[in-house]
């Protein structure tokens, strides 16, 4: 199966969750934004069948929303758990990650996306302080416990093999370490740390992370490093 | 199939999307929060297999996240489109609604959920102003166009029959009219208006809306009416 990924070319953003799955499976895909520029992505979005990127096309179908795309490609890419119940649980936990990512985004853009960060910095400081104190530990603890409570062992979040969900959580932890380096040192989540290391060492992922296809985090994406939003040391 | 719905008893909130599906299908369900109080809901959440309510249990399985629950029960409740592609499209559009609902919620709680509305009212005014100007018309236009472009006709969002997605959009439009009565008069979305009327007149829904099982909107839920956040006339 051949894939066309439509996402903004200059940020990892939400597109990176799809890219990691495609790269882990060494799938045949074209990163349209990187190849043809952001106008090609905008043109694709304006066709109207999707509300927003990332969009993933095959020759036969076209899907948007990270959790939905991943549920669709996990099987074909051999990144799904074996059982149907675990598959449903994978989708469910991916939707919890979706919520987590939205809350991370809103720390630097709490008021709206149409104002620059600099125009809502005071609100962002308040939002980030509450996020670091309440939501960040709640979400991290939840995923740490999910690993601990997996009846198949604590290597992966669901079942006994690596799924698209593990790749996504890896990306969220990386993004959080970029965005909130001080706050992230506070947490004792050994299973999450092991999972992150395990994903980083997979062949497809290791090669990708060292390639020029992998876009570094920067302050235009979901995960942004503004020192004033991090914990002060 | 018998269902147990776990959601806070005093608000429609996100639980209402599940309730509407169960009621439209006149399904056999127990609304645990309404029957046993919010402590029973809290106890269910604290078991740890779900991040947050709504949670829907059967005798065999347990799911959370509105879009995920609806995808799971749409078939059994006879509220799914006939084709597999339409089913995937239904899930996708439900996830767009999920994002819309989160943005609606954030108009009154832009900074965090741990502060009261009154403690973040200034930020909420700015957030709501931008929401009414940018995001509200963008989302409403998108769903109006989705109805217009449905190759099966503009009665329903996907395929040629009522699905859980139509019930959810009905609830969002109702909620928006409660929250932003002035702003909502500005929009010319005739297909959305027809859809809302069509859903309201379905037998299961009409009976439910007139019953005491249906919780009125109030200022503790997702949709809240604060006149200062609406357009000023």
Per residue in B86-98, pLDDT (tens digit) is 999 999 999 999 9
Q: Identify whether residues B66 and B91 lie together within a single domain.
A: no
Mean pLDDT calculated for residue range B62-89: 98
Task: Chain B: give the shortest CA distance to residue A111, in Å.
Answer: 5
Provide the pLDDT for residue B233: 87
| A contacts of B99 (beta carbons < 8 Å) | 51, 102
Please indicate, yes or no, if residue B7 is contained in any of the structural domains.
Answer: yes
By Cβ distance, the residue of B110, B112, B142 closest to A111 is B110
Last residue of one domain, picked from the residues B22, B52, B73 = B73
At residue A233 the predicted structure's pLDDT band, cuts being 50, 70 and 90, is: confident
Contact B149 A96 (CB under 8 A): no
How far is B226 from chain A, CA to nearest CA, in Å? 17
pLDDT of residue B196: 98
CATH number for the domain that contains residue B105: 1.20.1050.10
Q: Is B56 a residue whose pLDDT tops 90?
A: yes
Is position A59 within any domain? no
Cβ-count burial B140-164 (b if 16+ within 10 Å, e if not): bebbbebbeebeeeebbbbbeebbb
State the smallest CA–CA distance between residue A185 and chain B in angstroms: 23
Instruction: Answer whether residue B211 is part of any domain.
Output: no
Give the ranges where A74-202 is alpha helix by DSSP (H): 84-108, 121-130, 136-149, 164-179, 181-184, 190-200
Percent of chain B at pLDDT > 70 equals: 100
CA distance B3 to chain A (A): 17
Distance, in Å, from the CA atom of B74 to the CA atom of B157, rounded to the nearest integer, reads 14
* pLDDT score for A171: 98
Structure tokens at B50: 């779900």
Percent of chain A with pLDDT over 70: 100
B134 and B28 assigned to the same domain: no
pLDDT in tens, B116-155: 999 999 999 999 999 999 999 999 999 999 999 999 999 9
pLDDT at B82 over 90: yes
- Structure confidence by residue, pLDDT tens digits, A177-213: 999 999 999 999 999 999 999 999 999 999 999 999 9
- In this prediction the ipTM stands at 0.97
Q: How confident is the model at residue B99 (pLDDT cuts 50, 70, 90)?
A: very high
B12 and B59 in a single domain? The answer is yes
Q: Are residues B132 and B162 in the same domain?
A: yes
Q: Which residues of B touch A (CB under 8 A)?
A: 48-51, 61, 63-65, 67-68, 72, 85, 88, 91-92, 95-96, 99, 102, 106, 110-115, 120, 123, 126-127, 130-131, 134-135, 139, 142, 145, 149
Q: How far is A224 from chain B (nearest CA, A)?
A: 17
On the question of pLDDT at A80 being above 90, the answer is yes
Q: How far apart are CA A34 and CA A53, in angstroms?
A: 14
Residue A142 — pLDDT band, cuts 50, 70, 90? very high
Residue B92 lies in domain: 84-202
Looking at the structure, do residues B23 and B132 belong to the same domain, yes or no? no
The pLDDT of residue B12 = 97
Facing B145 at nearest CB: one of A48, A92, A99: A48
Instruction: Indicate the residue of B67, B106, B111 with minimum beta-carbon distance to A95.
Output: B67
From residue A159, how far is each of A48, A98, A150, A151 by CA, in Å?
Answer: 37, 20, 7, 8
B166 in any annotated domain: yes
**Domain identity same for B16 and B110:** no
Q: Does B229 fall in a domain?
A: no
> Quick check: A135 and B142 CB within 8 A?
no
Judging contacts by C-beta atoms under 8 Å, the chain B residues touching residue A92 are 50, 63-65, 68
In a domain, B231, yes or no: no
Of B103, B99, B81, nearest in space to A67 by CA: B99
Residue of B14, B45, B83, B95 for testing the chain A interface, max A β-carbons within 10 Å: B95
Q: Assess whether pLDDT exceeds 90 at residue B169.
A: yes
Composition of chain A by helix, strand, coil, percent to 5: 55, 5, 35
Q: Which residues in chain B are contacts of A91 at CB distance < 8 A?
A: 68
Residue B58 pLDDT class (50, 70, 90 cuts): very high
Scanning chain B, the segments in alpha helix (DSSP H) are 15-24, 32-36, 38-46, 66-73, 84-108, 121-130, 136-149, 164-179, 181-184, 190-200, 203-209
pLDDT of A156 over the 90 cut:
yes
Residue B88 falls inside a structural domain: yes
Distance from CA of B98 to the nearest CA of A (A): 10
How many helices and strands in chain A, by DSSP H and E?
A: 11, 4
Residue B36 domain-assigned (yes or no): yes
Provide the pairing of β-strand A62-64 with A28-31. Answer: unpaired
Q: How many domains does chain B have?
A: 2
Mean pLDDT in residue range B10-21 = 98
Using the predicted structure, report yes or no on whether residue A33 has a pLDDT greater than 90.
yes
pLDDT of residue A182: 98
> pLDDT-derived band of residue B78, with 50, 70 and 90 as boundaries?
very high
Mean of all residue pLDDT scores within chain B:
97
Please give the pLDDT value at position A139: 98
Over chain A, what is the mean pLDDT? 97
- A→B contacts (Cβ < 8 Å), by residue, are 48-51, 61, 63-65, 67-68, 72, 85, 88, 91-92, 95-96, 99, 102, 106, 110-112, 114-115, 120, 123, 126-127, 130-131, 134-135, 139, 142, 145, 149
* Band (A78; pLDDT cuts 50, 70, 90): very high
pLDDT at A96 over 90: yes
pLDDT in tens, A116-140: 999 999 999 999 999 999 999 999 9
Contacts of A112 in chain B (CB under 8 A): 126-127, 130-131, 134-135
Nearest residue on chain B to A119, judged by CA atoms? B126
């Amino acid at each position: 199966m051949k894939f066309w990924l439509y996402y903004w070319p200059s940020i990892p953003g939400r597109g990176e969750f799809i890219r990691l799955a495609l790269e882990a499976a060494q799938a045949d895909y074209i990163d349209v934004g990187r190849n043809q520029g952001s106008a090609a992505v905008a043109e694709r979005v304006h066709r109207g069948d999707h509300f927003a990127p990332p969009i993933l096309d095959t020759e036969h179908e076209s899907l948007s929303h990270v959790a939905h795309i991943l549920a669709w490609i996990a099987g074909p890419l051999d990144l799904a758990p074996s059982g149907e119940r675990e598959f449903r649980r994978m989708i469910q936990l991916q939707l919890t990650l979706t919520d987590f990512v939205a809350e991370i985004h809103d720390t630097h853009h709490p008021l709206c996306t149409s104002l620059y960060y600099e125009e809502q910095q005071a609100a962002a400081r308040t939002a980030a302080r509450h996020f670091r104190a309440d939501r960040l530990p709640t979400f991290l603890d939840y995923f740490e416990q999910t690993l601990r409570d997996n009846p198949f062992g604590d290597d992966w979040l669901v079942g006994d093999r690596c799924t698209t969900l593990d790749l996504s959580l890896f990306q969220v932890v990386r993004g959080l370490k970029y965005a909130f380096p001080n706050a992230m040192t506070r947490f004792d989540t050994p299973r999450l740390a092991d999972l992150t290391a395990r994903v980083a060492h997979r062949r497809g992922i290791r090669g990708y992370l060292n390639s020029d296809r992998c876009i570094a985090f920067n302050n235009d994406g979901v995960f942004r490093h503004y020192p004033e939003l991090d914990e002060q040391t």
